[in-house]
Amino acid sequence: MSGVRGGVGVPRWARTGRLGFAVLLVLGVAATGCSSDEDPPAGAPAPTTDEEASSGGEQPSDPAPSSSAPPVDGARAQVVRITDGDTLVVRLDGSGEATVRLIGVNAPEDGECFSDEAAAALTDLLADREVTLLGDESDLDQYDRLLRYVEVGGLDVNEELARLGVARSRAYPPDTARQASFDAAEADARAAGRGLWAADACGPATSVEGDVVIVAVLADPPGSDEADPNAETATLANGGGGPVDLSGWVLKDTSSSHRFTFPEGFVLAAGAQVVVHTGCGADTATDLHWCNQGSLVWNNDGDTAYLEDPAGNTVSTFEVEP
């Protein structure tokens, strides 16, 4: 059974508005569940946007063989364009253009809160710059994208995105050589309420009478998870003095496909808890059902649960240990 530990439930982050984020960005640049179908076994590559949309998962199942020799580690490359908050296209000497997926971080997807800001931050850091590409264990993902750490002027861009609060630190084994630094950078952004960790990052924060937090995630219950997906659960608690209407709130993991939206009219009473089961079933005041199809939700090898208000602001997080 996988161990879990409670991350700090943070129903109210220190506010850093859009202007504050812009200043921080400029300073940053100047300064330098059980294993599901979508989650990689050891040795699988980092996530891709394409498969997130097509297969409902964040990671490809197997790396694709390279049709040509990979560039030398530490190769210099010219940035051609930014695709999104964690993907770019570069020109390699003698090898034409290549798409690079940043290792160890995950920016919001297109259409999600802060996706535009993430892409803008990466553009400000890298547009028309010459960069250094550094590898880890994996070379390519199944879409032939290079999996790399990117450095410019001595700055670790992957880490800087986490520090600016425009991308989350996300480990994709076996490419984890710098993950501790990325985790620390994200923790710094969280503590400062920076970027997507600001209470109003996605619009006015929802006003609630009590603090609703994620208090537990059971990622690896005894027995076969596939046989009983309802044994895989996440538990939320209202520690405040009044009821909280959770209509439209979202519980999610680090993938782009696992999203549970609380039903319209669902109210969590003061002092009450609600258990969200991965499988299907009849909802009650104390038990709701994700009814996720095709895979389980929470990864046995480590995951993060996020609770967001209807605007997309992060209200609480919980770390699931492997």
Per-residue confidence (pLDDT) for residue 74, from 0 to 100 = 87
Domain 18-197: state its class. mainly beta
Which pLDDT score, from 0 to 100, does residue 72 have?
Answer: 58
In DSSP terms, 294 is beta-bridged to none
Q: Is 303 helix (H, G, I), strand (E, B) or coil?
A: strand
105: pLDDT strictly greater than 90: yes
pLDDT tens by residue, 55-80: 333 433 333 433 344 555 789 999 99
pLDDT for 269: 94
298 confidence band (pLDDT: 50, 70, 90): very high
Residue 210 confidence class, pLDDT cut points 50, 70, 90: low
Alpha helices in 224-286 (DSSP H): none
Which regions of the chain carry the CATH code 2.60.40.1260? 212-320
Among 138-147, 181-190, 202-211, 290-299, name the one with the lowest average pLDDT. Answer: 202-211
Residues of the chain with CATH 2.40.50.90: 18-197
Q: Which residues of 255-290 are buried (b: 16+ CB within 10 A; e: fewer)?
A: bbbbbbbbeeebebeeebebbbbbbeeeeeeeebbb
Pairing of strands 287-289, 273-277: parallel
pLDDT score at 71: 54
Q: Is the pLDDT of residue 20 over 80?
A: no
Show the tokens assigned to 283. 């909802």
**Percentage of residues of the chain with pLDDT beyond 90:** 58
Computed over every residue of the chain, the mean pLDDT equals 80
Mean pLDDT of 148-163: 97
Q: What is the mean pLDDT of residues 209-221?
A: 89
Looking at residue 191, its pLDDT comes to 93
The domain 212-320 belongs to what CATH superfamily?
Lamin Tail domain (2.60.40.1260)
Q: What is the DSSP string of 171-215?
A: -BTTB-TTHHHHHHHHHHHHHHT-GGGSTTTTSSPPP-SS-EEEE
